[in-house]
Every structure is written in C-alpha cells, then in structure tokens.
Structure 1
Amino acid sequence: MPELAFTADRLLLFGATGDLSQRMLLPSLCALNSDGLLDQDLCIVCTARSEMSTHEFRNFAREALEKFLPKHRRGGMADFLNRLRYVPVDATTPEGYDKLAEEVGEYDGLAIFLSTAPSLFEPTISGLERVGLTRGNARIALEKPLGTDFDSSCEINDAVAKAFPEHRIFRIDHYLGKETVQNLLALRFANILFEPVWNSNYIEHVQITVAETVGLESRVAYYDDSGALRDMVQNHMLQLLALVAMEPPTSFDSTAVRDEKVKVLRALREVSQSEVVTGQYRAGAVDGKSVPGYDEELGKESDTETFVAVKAHVDNWRWRGVPFYLRHGKRLPERVTEIVIQFRCIPHSIFEGRGAVTQPNRLVIEIQPKENIQLSMMAKVPGLGREGLRLRPVPLDIAMPDAFSDTVRRIAYERLLLDLIEGDQTLFVRRDEVEAQWEWIDQIRALWAENDMKPKTYSAGSWGPSAAIALAERDGVTWHDD
C-alpha cells in the first residue's frame, strides 16, 4: 500500500538554469514563499550543467525573478533566495551526484523535479539511485514530452519505475494547473444545474480549440520532430477532453479522479481518414504583421503538421453519438484555448407562431488568455413592437478575474509545485492515462502513413485549411471563432 502523503523538506530541481526554470519554476516557488505556502524547513537544491557557485546562482535567480515575476508578488525575495543551493552536475556522467547528495543531506521527504530533456531521465535516475536519493520518501516529477509514441513512452516509464513506484511519480501536464481547467470540475460537480444535462440527451457536440499565433520561435528542432498532434493533442487536449467527458468521481482524490479520466481515454473510438485534417502554414499575416511560412522558418521542406483537426467520439453510455471536435494550430488569427459545450435545440418552441426564433444554449469555457465562463440564454428583446415577439441570445458572463478580484492570480506551476511538495497526485497524469493517450495518437499517425496523408497548406493568420471547416460543416456544425 502507498504510504500517506507527506510534505517534502527538500526540493531538488534539475535543469535549474533552463528557460522553464527561469520563466515558471523559480517565479512560482518565490511566489509560494511570498504567500507563506512553503514550509520554513524546505531547502531548494538546484542543479544544471553550468559551472557556478551558489552565490552566482542566486544572482542568476534574482535576475529571472525580476524579469518574469510581477513586482507585487516578490515579497520576501531575499528569504527565498537564501533557500537556494546550487551544485553543478552533468546528468550524463556519474561525477557530481555525490556532491549533490551531500548538499541535499538527510531528508524526511525529498521532491525531485526533472526539467530536462527526456533523454536525460534514465541517466539522471541512475545517478540519483547510486547515491541514495531515490530511497525512502523520495518522489519525482517529470516534464513532457514523455516519449514520441506508445513504445518510447513505455521505455521512459519503465526506466522511472525501476527507482520509483507509481504513487511517487508525478507526470506533469501544466494545463491541469490552470485555474479554469480545475474550475471545469467545480462547474460540473458542484452545481446541480449542469450534471443532469451533461450527456448525449442534451449536448449536441463539444469543441476544444487550442489556437496559437506564434510559429516555430525557438523550438525549431523539437517541433519538426514532433508536430502538432504529438506536441499538443496527445497531452493537453486529450486531458481537457477527459475532464469534460469523465463520469463523476466518488471523491476529489487522485485515484478517483484519474480512474474516471482513463475510462474516457480508453473509450475513444479509432479515427477514420475522413475524421482528421492536417495542415501546415504558409506565409501570411498575423496581427497585421507579415510572417514567413513554416518551410521558410525551418529552412527546408517538411511534412510536419502545424495544424490538426479531429472529430473524436467517446463510445460509452453518456456520450454515444456526440462528436468532440478538437482543433489545434500555429499561426492562427488569435491565441485562445477554449471548450465549447453546444446544447441541443429545445424539443418544441411555443414561440413559433409569434415569429420568434430560438437558438440552442451554448457554454463557452475560455482557459487562456482570458479566464472566462459564458453561458448563452434566450431572452425576450425589450419593446412593444407589433411585428411579434423577438428573442435573442443573451450571454451570462463570469469573468474569473472579476468574480474573484480579491484573490491572487497564480501561475499554473504554483499549484503543481505545491502539490508535488505536499504529495497530492490529483492534478498529475498516471501511467495508464499516458499510455491510453499514446495508443489513440499512434493510431492516427498510422492512418496518415497508410494513406500517405500530407498536410494541406493554409495561410498564416487564417483558421487552418478549408478542409477543417468542412470537417465540422458536414455535420451542420460551425467552429466557434468569435
């Protein structure tokens, strides 16, 4: 049986000089410290290949905090910097791990965060195991990508499992740390209004969109080997789908929540050729600025997709017959991540004889860049006109920053790091979830290979290939683009 959750008194951060650490991890930890959420005994040991002293690393961390953490959240920054220790380690060689273990010292609980390339997971864990840093109450957090397909994912998971049992492995999907994503669970399971109608009897379809305006930026080598399907759909979007479609868990704990998510992922139907569209952007304009095409940014021709749209089905009692339209792309007109729940039409309108037209209700959950929940309801337009009764959809908006103006807006990694330190796995991904996601993605990639499907081109600044519009319109569905 897994031991009870414990609060770590040591945090060991690999990749401490990397981009993720500078932008997210160090600012998140400093903010948690500022709010008094880190135990006073917690020591943070940082490591990377760069040769520097603890004093030099603290200066490095200070610069990152001043650049990426809002000034009003830097309270107690000096106290936070004093928590930091630094030991240079090349993860690929045995040297350095003994000094690292010496710096960590004796611990009641150790939380390890690997912000490194997956190729370094196995040698890093071997080094940690050799010096005894996997023993006792040690847990480990892994950043994506966890493999490039089912087989490579299993290899990574097997390597980690040699030193850590499943209840001490924390696989990160940072979307699960976002407030609006967590609020999806509250919306569904804390309000009797929604759960009785959250099924195929009342919901016509679901749309999940993750749109980006950026191109390759600094991710040229990684992205061309990955593509949109593996970079975004395999993890973030399938996690969102699972949260939308899952059955009510028996409680809000890690086992109950993740049991229900994995049932959804295993119920995903295999995708047919007519249910997936792939694309790659060409030169165009985004936000009024001319941008190059993918091949120009890459410097060569490539068959890697920068856009994918999929019509998915969850074959279970609740969702049979309800399509889930997933769409993700780069160089699209706007940056937005949202979930759209489209309800069915009312079975009978009493207003038809009065010339009034009704429209079905729609729930829009916007995750980023704004955090907003909007429910469209039909209402009468005020007036005394003799032309008949007029109805119009009226949005009921809940802007999360406005609704909770007295609370602090947090970085997603704050939640995840705190849960790692305190041992709560609820917002982390279990091995069987990862593998179910990869099985579904691998089937789509095999379909592309078998049918020699190449990405269709689309202009940067558009909403993707026209075939993606047709994918939905064949079913009488329009993508939610406003």
Structure 2
Amino acid sequence: MASPAGKLLLFGATGDLAQRMLIPSLYGLHADGLLPEGLTITGTARSDHDDAGYREFARAALDEHLPTDRKDAAAIETFLTRLHYQPLDASTLEGFDELAEKLGDISGGLAIFLSTAPSLFGPTIKGLESAGLAGPNVRIGLEKPLGHDLPSSREINDIVAEVFPEDRTFRIDHYLGKETVQNIMALRFGNALFEPVWNAQAIEHVQITISETVGLEGRADYYDGSGALRDMVQNHVLQLLALIAMEPPAKIDGTSIRDEKVKVLRSLRPITSELAPQMTVTGQYGSGAVGGKPVGAYDEELGRPSDTETFVALKANIDNWRWQGVPFYLRTGKRLPERYSEIVIQFKPVPHSIFSERGGILQPNTLVIRLQPEEYVRLLVMAKEPGLDREGVRLREVPLDLSLTTAFAGARRRIAYERLLLDLIEGDPTLFVRRDEVEAQWGWIDQIRAGWKANNMTPKKYTSGSWGPSTSIALTERDGVTWYE
C-alpha cells in the first residue's frame, strides 16, 4: 500500500454528492480519528466561495445530512478547520495554477476525488498536469459515469492514463464500499460450509435484484441519457455478479481480487442480437402508486416522450467450469414496490427424498444475502414440525438468520464513501475497479444495446408499484424459476 496522502482535493465540492455523502463521510472519519493528522481538504467547483464561505456551506451540509447521534459540536469545529476552497472553472486551463498555489506543498502526497461531468475529465486532467498536480505522489479517484459505451469509456481511460498510470487511478463504484458487499467474500472464503458447494453441482440458479421505489429524483438529464442498463447493470449489478462468481483469490489485495473478477466478466456469454428478445426485458414505468402514494409516469416526470428504460431484467450465463449451466437472473428498476438490494443463491434439491412416502414435501435450500436497507444473511433450511406424525411427517422451511445489524450492534454502520475515501487517501486499490474490468463490463452491455436496436426493442410500460413488465416473469418462468420476492 502507498503512503497516506497529506492532502485531499475534491472536484465538484459543492454538488449534491459532496453535500449528501462526501462531506459527511469525511467528517465521520475525522470524528473517529481515522484521517491522517494534518490532512487538509481543499474543495473546488465553479461556485464562488472563500475558505470561510465553504466552511459554512459544509456546516449546513452536515446539519442536514448527519444523523443526530453523530453531531458533535467540538468535532464539527475541528473538522471545519481542515477545509479550504478555491473556485475553478475546470473547462479551461486558466485557474489551475491558482489551485496549485492554494494547495501549496504536495510533497507529502495528494489524493484527488474527481466528481464532475465526463465532458470535464479531459480538461481537468490536462489542467492538473499543467499545474504540476499529477506527479508520482498524486493519485486520482474517478466517480462514475466513466463513459456511456466501450469506445467512450476507452477514450476517458486513455485521457486519464496519459497522466495517471493504472496504479494511481482509482475508479469508484460505491457499492463495493458497502459492508455487506465485502461480507460476500467473508461468507464464501471464510467458511468451509459454503465454498465446496459454491458451483454448478450444487447451485441451480442465482438471482440479483436492485430495486428502487424512487423515480427521477432530480436526475432527469443524466438518467434519460443513460437508462437502467448503463446506470445500474453496467457497474453495480455486474460487480455483485463478479464477487459472487469469482474464483478464490490468492489473498485479499487489489491485484488478486480484481484479477479474479475480470476473469468472470470476460466469461460472460455474449447476449447476441438473436438472443436479446429471449434473454432480456426492458421496461419503463407508467403512472401508479408506490407506498400508497400516487405517482406519475416517466414521460410525465421527464416532461417529454422518451424510449429510455427504467427497468431491465436479464438472463446471464458464465461460460467456465464452476458455473456452466447455472443461469444468473439480474434485474433492476425504478418505481418498484420495495427498495432493496439482494442476492439469492438457489441450491438444487436433494437427490432423493426419504420423506415422500410419509407426505413430507421438501423445498431446496435458499441462501439470501440482503445488502440494503437491512443487512442480513438468511439460509432457508427444512425442519420437521413438532408432533407425533400420525398423519405423516410435516416439514417446513425455516430461516437460519444472521442479522449483521444485530450481530455487530456495537459497531457503527458506515457510509460506503467513508471506506472508499479513506482507501483513496491511504492508497489501497482493493475496492476500486480496474480498467480491464470496466471495459469488460461495457463490452457485454454494448452487445445487449445493439441487440435491442437490431430487434427494435423498446421499453414495455409497467405500472408504478409493480415488479416491472409481465415479460420479466416469463423470462424466469420459462425455466421453471420464480423471482424471489
């Protein structure tokens, strides 16, 4: 691991992400004594603040977004003294020298968090280089979106690589900072119970669901140019799939883990134009009710007609020895009945039931990994109901629950960005996405979009508050599988 940086530079320091996530996360690290002593945090954006003005901006963000039990007046005051600000229009080279002057001596290391529009990546990188802010002791974190397809992603990666080599480039997928996501590796590789049966011999299928109840929520311009496939499947869903399906890494470090993930992503069977109608579903929410409240259709929220998908369901296959013949059903959407992220591992039934002659009905075991909003691991197993069994053996499916919230009740649940920002500052790449991963993900996604275009597939309307188009049910049920809900 590299040495911790002595300074942190935040681009987009007055944006929504900064207010909701970055500033509260950095405060949390500060309050717990986890930031390097003497670390300064310099924000930059087009907004015209001085140091004092930005500190008041940050104070307001903390007041609005910090939980009450985390508000410590003394800690907030000492945190605010770390903050500095320099206005900058990143679209032009003018102003980067002033930014460098504001930062001062960076010989102790500089970490940069870049949260700007993709169109500003190129000018920003060039500006950093021109001002001497891209040397060997500087690392950069890149917030998505990193392109909208494989060619644009490669273009962005090429621009970054001209100045920042791969070992100093940290691509962010905030899902990888979630505690329960990291627990996937602990579950698989820290318990002898699971790894021997984590393969096609024992597992029938896998489901991954990320469902949202919200609509556009102020993201209309970005989302309508992106859609669910690019916004959610290309990064979060495929990263979860890679963690579930990867081979055991040699050790827990950035190279070993990312080597195994990219092998999975490269093993995804292409969904060709011929297969797209059978293996993909695309939808767009209409009017309806979510949480008992009426909501409008996507077109109404957007203010114009659009063919952008707000729901995607896919059947994926991984062509390697471990997973041959095991379908992975993936779905994500907006305006669905519930908000949660979940992975379901459906095991195969026992080869022979000794209970069938006495009326006992067996269900295959199911492992449920809930990532949010609750965090738990639940194994559904068969147990005998109490009784004398005069009319047959009654079996029932019962859960073995591990609530991570309860089991670690004494530990504070951290925002994903806390871990990712600290890892960026300390130079640990383990939870960041490597270029070859990003490009493998885009290559698979681009083929799906090409299939939609070739088949003139447009999103099917679904009622807000439902689980998407009825065709998503057919996607699984033609294989005898039902979505876990």
Give the alignment's TM-score, normalised by structure 1. Answer: 0.98
Correspondence list, 1:302-313, <5 A: 302-313=306-317
| CA deviation string 1:354-384 (max 9, x = no partner) | 1101111000001111111110011111112
Aligned match of 1:253: 253
In the alignment, the residues of structure 2 paired with residue 23 and residue 469 of structure 1 have an alpha-carbon distance, to the nearest angstrom, of 36
1:324 lines up with 2:328 in the alignment: yes
In the alignment, the residues of structure 2 paired with residue 363 and residue 298 of structure 1 have an alpha-carbon distance, to the nearest angstrom, of 39
1:435 lines up with 2:439 in the alignment: yes
Aligned match of 1:182: 182
- SS at 2:379 equivalent: strand
- Match 1:416 to one of 416, 420, 443: 420
Correspondence list, 1:111-126, <5 A: 111-126=111-126
Aligned match of 1:466: 470
Aligned match of 1:8: 5
Deviation at 1:302, TM superposition (A): 1.2
Asked whether the equivalents of residues 7 and 421 of structure 1 are also in contact (C-alpha less than 8 Å), the reply is yes
1:63 lines up with 2:60 in the alignment: yes
- SS at 1:193 equivalent: coil
Aligned match of 2:303: 299
In the alignment, the residues of structure 2 paired with residue 257 and residue 103 of structure 1 have an alpha-carbon distance, to the nearest angstrom, of 38
| CA deviation string 1:112-146 (max 9, x = no partner) | 00011111111111111001000121000000010
- SS at 1:283 equivalent: strand
* Greater mean deviation of Cα atoms: 121-130 or 168-177: 121-130
In the alignment, the residues of structure 2 paired with residue 35 and residue 377 of structure 1 have an alpha-carbon distance, to the nearest angstrom, of 40
1:347 lines up with 2:351 in the alignment: yes
1:102 lines up with 2:101 in the alignment: yes
Aligned match of 1:91: 90
- Which residue identity does 1:225 align to in structure 2? G
Aligned match of 2:204: 204
* Greater mean deviation of Cα atoms: 253-262 or 216-225: 216-225
In the alignment, the residues of structure 1 paired with residue 307 and residue 259 of structure 2 have an alpha-carbon distance, to the nearest angstrom, of 37
* Greater mean deviation of Cα atoms: 24-33 or 349-358: 349-358
1:376 lines up with 2:380 in the alignment: yes
1:403 lines up with 2:407 in the alignment: yes
| CA deviation string 1:378-406 (max 9, x = no partner) | 11111124111111111011111101001
- Which residue identity does 2:463 align to in structure 1? S
In the alignment, the residues of structure 1 paired with residue 293 and residue 70 of structure 2 have an alpha-carbon distance, to the nearest angstrom, of 34
Deviation at 1:297, TM superposition (A): 1.2
1:166 lines up with 2:166 in the alignment: yes
- Which residue identity does 2:16 align to in structure 1? D
Aligned match of 1:239: 239
- Which residue identity does 2:92 align to in structure 1? T
1:269 lines up with 2:269 in the alignment: yes
Asked whether the equivalents of residues 228 and 308 of structure 1 are also in contact (C-alpha less than 8 Å), the reply is yes
- Which residue identity does 2:64 align to in structure 1? K
| CA deviation string 1:138-162 (max 9, x = no partner) | 0000000100000000000000001
- Which residue identity does 1:27 align to in structure 2? P
Deviation at 1:69, TM superposition (A): 1.1
Asked whether the equivalents of residues 34 and 74 of structure 1 are also in contact (C-alpha less than 8 Å), the reply is no
- SS at 2:81 equivalent: helix
In the alignment, the residues of structure 2 paired with residue 131 and residue 339 of structure 1 have an alpha-carbon distance, to the nearest angstrom, of 46
- Which residue identity does 2:269 align to in structure 1? R
- Which residue identity does 1:89 align to in structure 2? L
- SS at 2:20 equivalent: helix
- SS at 1:66 equivalent: helix
Aligned match of 1:40: 37
* Greater mean deviation of Cα atoms: 73-82 or 49-58: 73-82
* Greater mean deviation of Cα atoms: 428-437 or 129-138: 129-138
- SS at 2:289 equivalent: strand
- Which residue identity does 1:59 align to in structure 2? E
Deviation at 1:353, TM superposition (A): 1.6
Gapped regions of structure 2 (runs ≥ 5):
none
| CA deviation string 1:231-265 (max 9, x = no partner) | 10000000000000000000000000000000000
In the alignment, the residues of structure 2 paired with residue 460 and residue 60 of structure 1 have an alpha-carbon distance, to the nearest angstrom, of 36
In the alignment, the residues of structure 1 paired with residue 169 and residue 71 of structure 2 have an alpha-carbon distance, to the nearest angstrom, of 30
In the alignment, the residues of structure 2 paired with residue 280 and residue 45 of structure 1 have an alpha-carbon distance, to the nearest angstrom, of 41
- Which residue identity does 2:58 align to in structure 1? A
Deviation at 1:72, TM superposition (A): 2.4
Gapped regions of structure 1 (runs ≥ 5):
none
In the alignment, the residues of structure 1 paired with residue 49 and residue 455 of structure 2 have an alpha-carbon distance, to the nearest angstrom, of 52
In the alignment, the residues of structure 2 paired with residue 332 and residue 151 of structure 1 have an alpha-carbon distance, to the nearest angstrom, of 32
* Greater mean deviation of Cα atoms: 126-135 or 71-80: 71-80
Aligned match of 1:479: 483
- Which residue identity does 1:209 align to in structure 2? T
Deviation at 1:303, TM superposition (A): 1.0
Aligned match of 2:192: 192
- SS at 2:48 equivalent: coil
In the alignment, the residues of structure 2 paired with residue 156 and residue 322 of structure 1 have an alpha-carbon distance, to the nearest angstrom, of 35
- SS at 1:270 equivalent: coil
* Greater mean deviation of Cα atoms: 396-405 or 165-174: 396-405
Aligned match of 1:457: 461
Work out the number of aligned pairs and report it.
478
- Which residue identity does 2:15 align to in structure 1? G
CA RMSD of aligned residues (A): 0.8
In the alignment, the residues of structure 1 paired with residue 80 and residue 402 of structure 2 have an alpha-carbon distance, to the nearest angstrom, of 38
Deviation at 1:479, TM superposition (A): 0.1
In the alignment, the residues of structure 2 paired with residue 408 and residue 119 of structure 1 have an alpha-carbon distance, to the nearest angstrom, of 37
Aligned match of 2:288: 284
Aligned match of 1:53: 50
In the alignment, the residues of structure 2 paired with residue 139 and residue 356 of structure 1 have an alpha-carbon distance, to the nearest angstrom, of 60
Asked whether the equivalents of residues 111 and 139 of structure 1 are also in contact (C-alpha less than 8 Å), the reply is yes
In the alignment, the residues of structure 1 paired with residue 338 and residue 297 of structure 2 have an alpha-carbon distance, to the nearest angstrom, of 17
In the alignment, the residues of structure 1 paired with residue 185 and residue 439 of structure 2 have an alpha-carbon distance, to the nearest angstrom, of 23
- Which residue identity does 2:13 align to in structure 1? A
Deviation at 1:73, TM superposition (A): 2.2
- SS at 2:313 equivalent: strand
- Which residue identity does 2:212 align to in structure 1? E
Percent identity for Structure 1 against Structure 2: 67
In the alignment, the residues of structure 2 paired with residue 219 and residue 443 of structure 1 have an alpha-carbon distance, to the nearest angstrom, of 26
Deviation at 1:39, TM superposition (A): 1.1
- Which residue identity does 2:22 align to in structure 1? L
In the alignment, the residues of structure 2 paired with residue 44 and residue 281 of structure 1 have an alpha-carbon distance, to the nearest angstrom, of 41
